[in-house]
Amino acid sequence: MASHRKSRPTGPRVAGIRTPALATAALTSVALLSQTANATPSDDRPTLEEVEKKVDDLYRQAGSATEKYNAAKEKTTKQRKKVDTLLDDVAQRTQKLNDAREELGSFASAQYRTGASVPETATLLLADSPQDYFDQNQLMNRLTGRQKTAVDDYVTQQSETMKKRREATESLETLTDSQTDLKTAKSTVQKKLATARELLSELTAEEKARLAAIERKKQEEAERKAAELAKQQAAQEDAERKRREEAAQQQESGSGSSGTSGGTGSSDSSGSSTPGTSTGTKAEKAIAFARAQIGKPYVWGATGPGSYDCSGLTQAAWKAAGVTLPRVTYDQVNAGTTVSVSQAQPGDLVFFYDDISHVGLYIGDGMMIHAPKPGAYVREESIFYDGESSIYSVVRPG
């Protein structure tokens, strides 16, 4: 009986129904096409993490271009002043050259009127008496001497005027190059920021909320690292204070019988603390100024008082303390003594990224005041805001 049974059709079940191999292949193709159609838009669309990284990179690139813009602007300003000075100098020398030319012209006229080209003949013919001849001969001798001086002066003025004109021309060419660099840097900043704004504008409300959550998580991690650094620095300060106290006690016990030695020790202690106190006072003034700017907007290229970029803020803060810093980050990084992150003290400058495109003012406990980026405001933030590896160096202004 079993030999009369029909064989079961091969092929998988679909929704409980056995399908032949051909139908299975067709359904598989439809499914693949459907998956492909659904996957195409999402494949073209970057993930939220990719958008975040791209935006951060664009802001960093804009920051780097901002510092180039600041440098080009500073160079352009200085070059324009130099050109103006040279042009004023050329104008003054041209006037002197014209005066010298007029003086030569007056001598030529005098020669023509008196016949100075052949003085002996001219004076003999014009003289009505021996005394007249003598007076005219003396005049011609003086004219000849003054004429020589005038010629020498004219040649000198002409040479100096031509030299200054060449310098002015070269300075004008340099100014043109600086202005070109300025325009290029400005265009780069604007393009980077426009691209970042475009990327952010394409995010949905849900994606923006998720992005904000990612930022909060990064901030929490940065604050945790800042707290660790604060503890480390506090431990170092305690150890240093104990070391000083022990050294002072040993000095007092070693000079117990000598009243003058104790006084000397006190004087040394006071003297050694004076420089630190002075530096500390300046740092306090710089920090106080920076705190007063909190809440003001970041504007690239700005140096205050209504808005700042990163290096504009640090420059203004230390200027308030009586210390002049260069305008841009990659010059500010050389304007003091480099120390380790663990040795950072309030008032130090913290620089970021390999291209040294960002800087903040350290205020202690792993925190700083800085002008972060476009769309943000001057604020307090952990120096680890973009990860520990982003810190380039710490510099104590000298």
Give the active site residues: 310, 358, 370
Q: What is the side-by-side order of every strand in the sheet holding 358-364?
A: 336-339, 391-397, 349-352, 358-364, 367-370, 379-382
Question: C-alpha angle with apex 305: 360 to 285, nearest 5 degrees?
Answer: 55
CA triple 308-280-232, angle to 5 deg: 90
Helical spans, DSSP H, in the chain = 21-44, 48-114, 119-126, 130-201, 205-254, 259-292, 310-320, 329-332
Q: What is the CA radius of gyration of the chain?
A: 41
For residue 20, say if its preceding peptide bond is cis, omega within 30 degrees of 0: no
Q: How far apart are CA 140 and CA 105, in angstroms?
A: 16
CA-CA distance, 358 to 381, in Å (whole number)? Answer: 14
CB 303 within 8 A of CB 316: yes
Half-sphere exposure of 376 (CA within 13 A, CB side): 14
Nearest of 341, 383, 323 to residue 358 by alpha carbon:
383
**Residues in Cβ contact with 236 at an 8 Å cutoff, skipping those fewer than 6 apart:** 342, 343
Phi, psi for residue 155 in degrees, rounded to 5:
-60, -45
Q: Spell out the residues 6+ positions from residue 320 whose beta carbon is closer than 8 angstroms to its own.
A: 285, 286, 288, 289
- Going from the C-alpha of 235 to that of each of 171, 231, 241, 242, 351, the distances in angstroms are 56, 6, 10, 11, 24
**In a 3-state reduction of DSSP, which class is residue 129?**
coil
